[in-house]
Amino acid sequence: FGAVDASKSNCERFLKGGASLVVYPGGLDEANLEHKVEGVEPRVILRTRTGFIRLALKYNTPVVPVFTFGELDAVDAVNLLPEWLSKWMQKTFRMSTTIFLGRFCTFIPYRVPFNMCIGREIPVKHCPDGTPDGEIDAEVVRVHALYKAELKNIYDSNKKLYGYENRELIFLCDQEKDMR
């Protein structure tokens, strides 16, 4: 499928070559979050970073928000370690301590449909190398706010259609700001 590591250097190499990128939010941090809590409706938790927006500004590439319904139901996340040890290992070694199980308690995912919903393109202001940091930061904040708003719009417009009506979409970056 042409999948590569989402490192900054890889992304820059492809953007310099004129390619479009699809960056899947998530990864180690989100994979290890507790999405299903007993007695509470499942949540959809996203940690929205801004590195991809900075690259979009540098290479004058619009950002297109996409949400795929069904991914949370494809496997069950199981963590057998105590929470403190799991968090220490994740932070220290940048490794997941979560095991993902599907059908028949194997690594084969459950048969669930994935429904990809694509939002409106968000144009960006071109900020090549040499652009003052303050100008870049302001544009990152603007685009990030539009990105989250469009992602929320995609989610809210389609959640009932795809069985997520009882799941709350949570942007972890917003919760972290609220905790300060």
Q: How do beta strands 168-171 and 76-78 pair? A: unpaired
What pLDDT does 180 receive? 34
User: What DSSP line would sit under the chain, residue for residue?
Assistant: -------HHHHHHHHHTT------S-SHHHHTS----TTS--EEEE---SHHHHHHHHTT--B--EEEETGGGS-EEE--S-HHHHHHHHHHH-----EEE-GGGSSSPP----EEEE---B------TT--HHHHHHHHHHHHHHHHHHHHHHHHHHTTTTT-TT-EEEEHHHHHHHH-
Choose between 95 and 152: higher pLDDT.
152
pLDDT band at 21 (very low <50, low <70, confident <90, very high): confident
- CA–CA separation, 158 vs 9, rounded Å? 34
Give this prediction's pTM: 0.80
Q: What is the mean pLDDT of the chain?
A: 83
What pLDDT does 179 receive? 36
**Class of residue 176 by CB neighbours under 10 A (exposed 0-12, middle 13-18, buried 19+):** exposed
pLDDT band at 72 (very low <50, low <70, confident <90, very high): confident
Specify the range with the lowest mean pLDDT, choosing from 93-107, 109-123, 153-167.
93-107
